[in-house]
Structure 1
Amino acid sequence: MGFNTLLLSLATLPLLAKSETVLGVYIFHRHGDRTPKSLPPVNLTALGADEAFQSGSFYRSRYVASDASAPIVGLSSDIAVPSQLNVVSPSDSVLQSSALAFLQGIYPPAGELSMSVLANSSEVQAPLGGYQYIPVTTSATASTSTNAESNEWLQGGSGCGNAVVSSNNYFSSSSYLSTLSQTKTFYSDLLPVINTTFSASQATFKNAYTIFDYVNVATIHNASIPGEELLTSETLRQLRTRADEHEFNLAFNASEPIRAIAGATLAAQVVQQLNATLSGGGATPPPLGIQFGAYASFLSFFGLARLHEVSDDFTGVVDYASSMVFELVTNASDAARPVDASEVAVRFLFANGTAAANPLTPFPLFGTGETVLPWERFAEEMGRFAVGDTAAWCVACGNTTGQCAAVGAAGSSSGNDAANGGGDGGNGISLPVAGVIGALVTLVVILAVEGLVYALAGLKLVKKSALAAGAAAGAAGTGGEAAGSKA
């Protein structure tokens, strides 16, 4: 089923029920339009910056602005509060620049709100009309791919040994070899278009994505292209579909889950962020998480979350400035955190291309057929394949040097098991589970035991607000700490 048909069928689904409150959001975003990978250095274009900015403006109108359609509870609407945002990007100029452009859409220049009055009564206007400086954290995990957009093959820059081996297995598979043979003439016939960058030996399916990328950028930016008469609509379609086939198979394989390490680490990051937002704790957790990353992470996650079973379009490279969103929502009448986990759900949404011009649409995850999942079910399903800390990543990847040296040979056995798909993963997926997922499961067990103790002792949990009211009326207020333990 094509995306257009699928989007029409899902267009009648409400993005947000009227009774819902958005507690937190995690956005994973691709960069905007850029120069081709085959002509380094790769740079974000003016079009790409605008795509990211327009996407940020869309999400501002949805989650941030004072008149937002689905406001995130407690989020500042006009002046960015750094502690309320967790923005992450690899150390890559295209992704970092896209993040900065996006953030200017989320929080545009503050104008008069950025004016300061000094002790001598003089007024000072912040530069650029109150341009808001929002920190973008550089990814520093073992799975970070530095200069990701300069790597022609993104898995090659992942640093995950077992994932690289798994992806290389695709090049010896019967499906790859068959397509390589079948498309030999197709790619060689394109040499008049690409021969300034690709040699005759390079004009094969092995370079399907970089050839597509080179031609795609040219069709967007070049007024004339050598041999452009060869670029018929059918040729362009086949360039795209072959690139999709090539990249999806490098990013995901159901029998070798380690190949999808990018999606596995993303899954853990999503749950970590949403769990922090939900559980609260002593400090106020950031309700808005934003991460910029490459298309490989989209493809890996699509496979792990079984979205390719919803539509074949989830096996294709996403367009520039695409985004997927995880909304943490509740129907609880009192949405002030912490909210009981049983009253919280997660909605997954996706926009192929900048959300300002393409519909942000809910899709069902994990083969459930449901676009909104209870928090516990969502966390459990993500936990089947999530990898969320350096130790787990090192074990899964079989890496023993660098920052993985401390893990050492002790984890090599389980790491190989994970790479080979061992263990019970429900849908055949098994990877070391993120530390945060384990902590979450432990928390659920603790709360269950705590509830049993309370029941046996004849006690009950009450909200802090009720305790405060009781205290004001002169009643005893010593149970506040117990009430505060709700997740």
Structure 2
Amino acid sequence: MQLKTLLLSSAALPLAKSETVLGVYIFHRHGDRTPKSLAPTSLTALGADQVFQSGSYYRSRYVASDASSPIVGLSSDIAVPTQLSVISPADSVLQSSALAFLQGIYPPAGDNGVSVLANSSEVQAPLGGYQYIPVGVSSTASSNPNSENNEWLQGGSGCGNAMVSSNNYFRSEEYLGTLERTRSFYGGLLPVINGTFGAGQANFKNAYTIFDLVNVATIHNQSIPSRALLTDDALFALRTLADAHEWNLAYNASDPIRAVAGATLAAQILQQLDATLTGRGKTPVGVQFGAYASFMSFFGLAQLDKLSADFTGVVEYASSMVFELVTNASTPSSSSSSSSSSSSSYPNVEDVSVRFLLANGSAAQNAPREFPLFGRARSPLPWTDFAAEMSKFAIGDTAAWCRACGNTTGICASAASSSSSSSDGGSDGEGAAATTSSNNISVPVAGVIGALVTLVLILGVEGLVYALAGLKLVKKATLAASAAASGAAGGAAAAGSKA
């Protein structure tokens, strides 16, 4: 995904210098791992270092005493568990990545980790004062405990309508046409991959897992069978075909339920940022580790693909996207204790905005850059605008997820009965129960964003007039040489991105 070249240089917006950061939500991909086709996958030493270095970058940006954009009231050296909300699916690659990342955010405390006992003796915490920061297990209905062992992104989601929607891609003219055009290309790579994929599997249907196997091999293997076949053009075609395959499984503009991963992520982002505001900074940092599919789904829902087709590719290992709560109003000193951030100087909602940033690859090597969301021409967005836009597609609780997915068994059995009784009482549309159909869904956050977003929705009619007046189209970037390279590799219809 070439965001770090074309997109990050031409579409990024400069950061304001006078802002105060009230809180952040970071969604992070795992680091380098073993290939999916050779399950179980595991995080490599390179992968652990990638996410550790990313954590170190975010420490220098938000946490350290000399941070460039310090978060108000956040402890700089000793982690305070109540100030951080960190979650990940119960997946070994993602959980391990989260732990390595947190050691970058809060490294061993050294002398600060020494306890002085009643008898005046001193005890040094193990590993130089290693800080134990809890990583919770994602509790949403769509959480997948084996995210990195699933070769197909919807295969383990459990969302019935999303699986049906993604399967529709395999019956589309686009898919069938690409499948036929690329048979000779994949067949020509059999000497490279036939230790894992047979002749009947060497085709576009397995575009991502074939790319993944080759990509891991080029990183780790000193010798690869028939290495000469892996020319630059062949590697580019493998990557762009995988991008196209995964994008079409993760998002479809006419069938939003396909992007269920992005919709549930949107609700989690809103919940955390809203909690930061309503709690006046008591828990200012939210971190979640997840798979690339959630990035792609969210990119589509947030209309980032209209900004550039580069957003339709698989993000690199250790990529992260960040949502900053910022203000230009007076705030408590960023070096003060967390309790001070709840003082009367905490800014009002109308003085708060949200900035979106993306690092494609480890933030230590590719610093996060700013992009406008929702087809808007401005960034950051006022909190009220941001919350209203996110609420249009966010799926915020189990009942809403079950309705959108059409699930009625398992965890959805009890949710269906409770939501049925509550829906009899009526709905106000934007802030309550969602409606679903086979081709379209409206799934606003159902009672999980809090009173703040309720206020946003009450004022939404008046605000929408002004918001629409401020919209303008953003020209979609073109992908240089993608068509030529793909054609040379068998006519691959892809999205010029790097996984």
TM bucket, shorter chain: 0.7 to 0.9
- Equivalent residue for 1:332? 329
Take 1:114 and 1:438, find their aligned partners in 2: how far apart are those partners? Answer: 38
Structure 2 letter corresponding to 1:36: P
SS at match of 2:36: coil
Distance change in 2, residues 1:115/1:230 (3 Å): same
Query: Is the counterpart of residue 317 in structure 1 residue 314 in structure 2?
Result: yes
On the 8 A contact 2:435/2:443 being kept in 1, the answer is no
Higher gyration radius (CA): 1
Query: Is the counterpart of residue 258 in structure 1 residue 257 in structure 2?
Result: yes
Structure 1 letter corresponding to 2:296: L
- Equivalent residue for 1:431? 443
Structure 2 letter corresponding to 1:44: L
SS at match of 1:435: coil
- Equivalent residue for 2:365? 357
Query: Map of 1:455-466 to 2, 5 A cutoff?
Result: none
Q: How far apart are residue 409 of structure 1 and its match?
A: 6.8
- Equivalent residue for 2:222? 223
Q: How far apart are residue 40 of structure 1 and its match?
A: 1.1
- Equivalent residue for 1:102? 101
SS at match of 1:223: coil
- Equivalent residue for 2:14? 14
Share of identical aligned residues, percent? 71
Structure 1 letter corresponding to 2:309: D
Take 1:446 and 1:306, find their aligned partners in 2: how far apart are those partners? Answer: 25
Take 2:418 and 2:436, find their aligned partners in 1: how far apart are those partners? Answer: 13
- Equivalent residue for 2:154? 155
Take 2:299 and 2:412, find their aligned partners in 1: how far apart are those partners? Answer: 28
Distance change in 2, residues 1:408/1:58 (3 Å): same
SS at match of 1:400: coil
Q: How far apart are residue 438 of structure 1 and its match?
A: 6.7
Q: How far apart are residue 52 of structure 1 and its match?
A: 0.5
Q: How far apart are residue 140 of structure 1 and its match?
A: 1.8
- Equivalent residue for 1:272? 271
SS at match of 1:28: strand
Structure 2 letter corresponding to 1:171: F
Distance change in 2, residues 1:177/1:445 (3 Å): closer
Task: Select the residue among 381, 396, 417 that pairs with 2:389.
Answer: 381
On the 8 A contact 2:262/2:297 being kept in 1, the answer is yes
Take 1:446 and 1:415, find their aligned partners in 2: how far apart are those partners? Answer: 17
Structure 1 letter corresponding to 2:416: G
- Superimposed CA distance per residue, residues 358-407 of structure 1 (whole angstroms, 9 cap, x where no aligned partner): 13100010000222100000000000100011111111111111111013
Q: Which runs of 5+ in 2 are unaligned?
A: 333-340, 424-432, 461-499
- Equivalent residue for 1:40? 39
Query: Map of 1:406-417 to 2, 5 A cutoff?
Result: 406-408=414-416, 417=436
Q: How far apart are residue 268 of structure 1 and its match?
A: 0.5
Take 1:70 and 1:401, find their aligned partners in 2: how far apart are those partners? Answer: 46
Structure 2 letter corresponding to 1:7: L
- Normalised by the length of structure 1, the TM-score is 0.86
User: What is the root-mean-square deviation of aligned Cα atoms in Å?
Assistant: 2.0
Query: Is the counterpart of residue 420 in structure 1 residue 417 in structure 2?
Result: no
Structure 2 letter corresponding to 1:334: T
On the 8 A contact 1:418/1:432 being kept in 2, the answer is no
Structure 2 letter corresponding to 1:433: V
On the 8 A contact 1:149/1:294 being kept in 2, the answer is yes
On the 8 A contact 2:62/2:68 being kept in 1, the answer is yes
Q: How far apart are residue 432 of structure 1 and its match?
A: 4.3
On the 8 A contact 1:397/1:415 being kept in 2, the answer is no
Structure 1 letter corresponding to 2:440: G
SS at match of 2:414: coil
Structure 1 letter corresponding to 2:363: A
- Equivalent residue for 1:302? 299
Query: Is the counterpart of residue 87 in structure 1 residue 86 in structure 2?
Result: yes
Take 2:186 and 2:419, find their aligned partners in 1: how far apart are those partners? Answer: 44
Take 1:357 and 1:187, find their aligned partners in 2: how far apart are those partners? Answer: 33
Q: How far apart are residue 141 of structure 1 and its match?
A: 1.6
Structure 2 letter corresponding to 1:364: P
Q: Which runs of 5+ in 1 are unaligned?
A: 423-429, 449-487
- Normalised by the length of structure 2, the TM-score is 0.84
SS at match of 1:38: helix
